[in-house]
C-alpha cells in the first residue's frame, strides 16, 4: 500500500431525515449518510504539468497546466499546514476565474472552481501531473449532497497528495471517528462547498466525511451551527425515490414563512412539534441498542414528520403518490426529504419486505417516471482504496460503469471486489 496514485477515495451522500424547513427557524434537524456514494479515482496524467478533472456524470472534462495555476497568490496565504479561512480568499477565487472562461455551464464552473481552489490550497506547484476521475451513484442536484460528497473526495485525495493527513488514517477500518485528519478533511471540504453554494450549512460535508448521522441547529447568524454526530447509528434499509418533479426551494421556504405570518400560533406549534420529534429521533438514534422497537418508533416519526410537512404546505402530489403506494403495500413509512414540493421521498423500510412486493413497488414507481435507489441510512464516511503498484488500472473502465454500484476490476486476483 502506497500513498501515490493510483488510488480511489469515496464519500457518501446524505438525506435529511428529520426537521427540514423547521431548521430555517432555528429548530434542530437530522441528516444521515446514505450508501449512495461518490468515487474519485486518482491516476497519473500523461504529462507532469497536466492536471485533468474528468466528471463524466455531468459531461465535464477539463485540463489545466499546473504551471499556470495561481501558486504565487495561494502560497501567500499558506504557511505550513493549510488552514481553511472563514471565507474564500477573493484573490485566489478571481485568479482561478481567469482559468475558467471557456466553461459555459454553471455546474462546470462550480465543479472546476471548487476543484482548483482545493488544489492550489492543498497541493503544491511541485506535485506530479494527475487525472481526477469522478463518478457518483448519487443523482446530481437532487438535494442528496452530491456536491459535498465530491468535495470530500477531492479534499481527501488532495490532502493525501499534499501529505496533510497521516498514512495511518488510511489503515483504519473505521474512518468515521473524530480525529485531526477527518476534521481537516471536513473543514476543507466545506471550503470546496463554499465555492459551489456560497453559504452552505456545512452539514452535507460533515455527513460525507464522518458518515452516520448529524443533528444540527442553526444559531443566530454570527454563531456557527451546533452539530452533534451520531456514529453508532446502525445502517437501516432505505428506499430513496426521486420523483424527478423539479422543486423550487426558495418558493417553498417562502411559503412556509408566509404561513408563519398568516397563522402564527398554528405554525409555531407545528414547528415545535417538528423540533420535539427530531429530538425524540435523536434520543432513539444515539441508543447503544437499536432494536426492532426503536426502528418502529423511527418509522412512526417519519410518518409524523411528513404529516407536519404536509401541514406546512411543502408536499406535492408526486410525493403523496409515492407515499400512498408504500402505505398501501405496507413496506414502510415514507416522508419527503429536503425542500419538498417534488424532489425525493425516503422510505424507511420494514425489517421484512418480500422481494416480490419490493419489485412490484419499484415497477409502479417506474411507471410513474420515478427513479428508485435501494440504499441504506447511516453507514461509513470517507474511505480510501490504495492499489498495489503492480495493479494496472484503466480510468476508462472506471468511467464507463453506469450501474448504481461501481465495480472496480483490480485484475485477476481481486476481481469483483466492491468498494464502499
Task: Give the residue numbers annotated as catalytic, written as ranges.
Answer: 204
Residue ranges of the alpha helices (H) in 198-263? 203-210, 249-262
**Residue from the set 231, 244, 297, 364 that interacts with a second copy by CB under 8 A:** 297
d(C-alpha 12, C-alpha 58), whole Å: 18
Q: How far is the CB of 293 from a second copy (least distance, A)?
A: 10
**Residue from the set 231, 321, 362, 401 that interacts with a second copy by CB under 8 A:** 321
Does 172 contact a second copy by CB under 8 A?
no
Stretch that binds a second copy, among 76-84, 120-128, 150-158, 313-321 (CB under 8 A): 313-321
Cα three-residue angle 98-100-104, rounded to 5 degrees? 135
Stretch that binds a second copy, among 53-61, 106-114, 312-320, 385-393 (CB under 8 A): 312-320
Binding mask 273-292 for a second copy (x = CB under 8 A): x--xx-xx------------
**Residue from the set 269, 389, 400, 402 that interacts with a second copy by CB under 8 A:** 269
Residues 6+ apart with CB under 8 A from 391: 6, 410, 411, 414
Q: What is the DSSP track for 58-100?
A: TTEEEEEEGGGS-HHHHHHH-SSS----SS--HHHHHHHHHTT
**Residue from the set 272, 354, 366, 405 that interacts with a second copy by CB under 8 A:** 272
Pairing of strands 213-217, 29-44: antiparallel
**Alpha-carbon distance values, 223 to 11, 63, 70, 138, 278 (Å):** 28, 39, 32, 31, 21
Whose cell is 443523482? That residue is 139
Stretch that binds a second copy, among 128-136, 299-307, 381-389, 410-418 (CB under 8 A): 299-307
Residue closer to a second copy by CB (options 278, 376) is: 278
Does 300 contact a second copy by CB under 8 A?
yes
Assess contact for 364 and 347: CB atoms under 8 A.
no
Does 27 contact a second copy by CB under 8 A?
no
Q: Is the peptide bond before 6 cis (omega within 30 degrees of 0)?
A: yes
Does 328 contact a second copy by CB under 8 A?
yes
Classified as helix, coil or strand, 218 is coil
Cell output for 311 = 401541514
Q: How far is the CB of 96 from a second copy (least distance, A)?
A: 46
Residue closer to a second copy by CB (options 197, 297) is: 297
Neighbours of 313 (CB within 10 A): 15
Does 307 contact a second copy by CB under 8 A?
yes
Strand partners of residue 53:
62, 132
d(C-alpha 133, C-alpha 123), whole Å: 17
Does 129 contact a second copy by CB under 8 A?
no
Does 128 contact a second copy by CB under 8 A?
no
Stretch that binds a second copy, among 153-161, 177-185, 197-205, 267-275 (CB under 8 A): 267-275
Strand partners of residue 368:
none
**Residue from the set 179, 225, 249, 303 that interacts with a second copy by CB under 8 A:** 303
d(C-alpha 118, C-alpha 153), whole Å: 11
**Residue from the set 111, 206, 312, 353 that interacts with a second copy by CB under 8 A:** 312
* E-assigned strand segments in 158-283: 213-217, 226-230, 236-242
Please give the size of the binding site for a second copy, defined by CB under 8 A: 35
**Residue from the set 50, 57, 327, 374 that interacts with a second copy by CB under 8 A:** 327
Site residues (vs a second copy, CB under 8 A): 259, 262-263, 265-266, 269-270, 272-273, 276-277, 279-280, 297, 300-301, 303-313, 315, 317, 320-321, 323-324, 327-328
Amino acid at each position: 500500500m502506497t500513498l501515490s496514485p493510483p488510488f480511489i477515495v469515496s464519500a457518501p451522500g446524505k438525506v435529511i431525515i428529520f426537521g427540514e424547513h423547521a431548521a430555517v427557524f432555528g429548530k434542530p434537524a437530522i441528516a444521515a449518510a446514505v450508501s449512495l456514494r461518490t468515487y474519485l479515482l486518482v491516476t497519473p496524467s500523461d504529462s507532469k504539468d497536466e492536471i485533468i478533472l474528468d466528471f463524466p456524470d455531468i459531461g465535464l472534462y477539463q485540463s489545466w497546466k499546473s504551471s499556470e495555476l495561481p501558486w504565487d497568490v495561494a502560497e501567500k496565504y499558506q504557511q505550513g499546514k493549510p488552514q481553511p479561512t472563514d471565507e474564500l480568499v477573493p484573490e485566489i477565487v478571481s485568479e482561478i476565474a481567469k482559468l475558467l472562461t471557456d466553461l459555459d455551464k454553471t455546474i462546470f464552473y462550480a465543479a472546476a472552481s471548487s476543484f482548483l481552489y482545493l488544489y492550489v490550497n492543498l497541493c503544491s506547484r511541485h506535485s506530479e501531473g494527475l487525472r481526477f476521475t469522478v463518478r457518483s451513484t448519487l443523482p446530481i442536484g437532487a438535494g442528496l449532497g452530491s456536491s459535498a460528497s465530491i468535495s470530500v473526495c477531492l479534499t481527501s485525495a488532495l490532502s493525501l497528495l499534499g501529505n496533510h493527513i497521516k498514512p495511518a488514517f488510511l489503515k483504519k477500518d473505521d474512518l468515521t471517528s473524530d480525529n485531526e485528519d477527518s476534521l481537516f478533511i471536513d473543514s476543507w471540504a466545506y471550503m470546496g462547498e463554499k465555492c459551489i453554494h456560497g453559504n452552505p450549512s456545512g452539514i452535507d460535508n460533515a455527513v460525507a466525511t464522518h458518515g452516520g448521522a448529524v443533528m444540527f441547529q442553526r444559531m443566530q447568524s454570527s454563531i456557527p451551527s451546533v452539530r452533534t454526530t451520531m456514529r453508532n447509528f446502525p445502517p437501516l434499509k432505505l428506499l430513496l425515490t426521486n420523483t424527478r418533479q423539479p422543486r423550487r426551494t426558495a418558493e417553498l421556504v417562502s411559503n412556509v414563512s408566509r404561513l408563519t405570518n398568516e397563522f402564527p400560533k398554528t405554525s409555531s406549534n407545528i414547528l415545535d412539534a417538528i423540533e420535539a420529534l427530531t429530538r425524540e429521533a435523536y434520543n432513539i438514534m444515539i441508543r447503544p441498542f437499536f432494536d426492532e422497537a426503536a426502528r418502529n418508533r423511527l418509522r412512526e416519526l417519519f410518518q409524523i414528520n411528513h404529516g407536519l410537512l404536509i401541514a406546512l404546505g411543502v408536499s406535492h402530489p408526486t410525493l403523496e403518490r409515492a407515499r400512498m403506494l408504500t402505505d398501501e403495500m405496507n413496506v414502510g413509512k415514507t416522508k419527503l426529504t429536503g425542500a419538498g414540493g417534488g424532489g425525493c421521498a425516503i422510505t424507511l423500510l420494514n425489517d421484512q419486505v418480500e422481494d416480490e412486493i419490493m419489485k412490484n413497488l419499484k415497477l409502479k414507481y417506474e411507471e410513474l417516471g420515478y427513479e428508485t435507489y435501494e440504499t441504506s441510512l447511516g453507514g461509513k464516511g470517507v474511505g480510501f482504496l490504495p492499489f498495489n503498484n503492480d495493479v494496472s488500472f484503466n480510468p476508462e473502465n472506471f468511467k464507463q460503469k453506469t450501474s448504481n454500484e461501481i465495480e472496480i476490476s483490480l485484475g485477476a486476483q481481486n476481481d469483483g471486489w466492491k468498494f464502499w
